[in-house]
Amino acid sequence: MFAGKHFVMAMTNQDVLWSWGKGRYGVLGHGSEEDEEEPRVVRRFESMNVVDLGVGSYHCVAIGEDENVYCWGRNECGQLGRGTISSHECDIDVVQFNPNESPFQVFN
């Protein structure tokens, strides 16, 4: 389990991602800013497992089993790695890296 400022993300033993709490900035990953009072599956990862996850106060970063990095939530300081700055980012996007430079290694 991972806790942000007013939300929680949880991965099951099967690497399914759930979220609940305050949905401000789209941080729950459901494509909106709606609050969730009960755990809800993050549909973007329904057909792909999440192998690692990190959360900030109002943003999340996940590594999918496809080895892509996915970011969503608040992007006021560019923390989503999109090359833009905005306060509301509800979509879960893949972070683009230079293909010749891998920024991480996935361990099994």
**pTM score, whole prediction:** 0.81
**In 3D, which of 80, 76, 85 has the Cα closest to residue 96?**
80
Are the CB atoms for 42 and 20 separated by under 8 Å? Answer: no
Q: What is the pLDDT of residue 104?
A: 55
Angle (nearest 5°) at CA 70 between 38 and 11: 40
Q: For residue 21, what is the DSSP state?
A: E
Angle (nearest 5°) at CA 18 between 102 and 44: 55
State the 10-residue block means of pLDDT for the chain, 108 residues long. 94 89 94 95 89 91 88 82 69 68 53
Q: What is the pLDDT of residue 108?
A: 44
Token pair 């879960």 is found at: 92
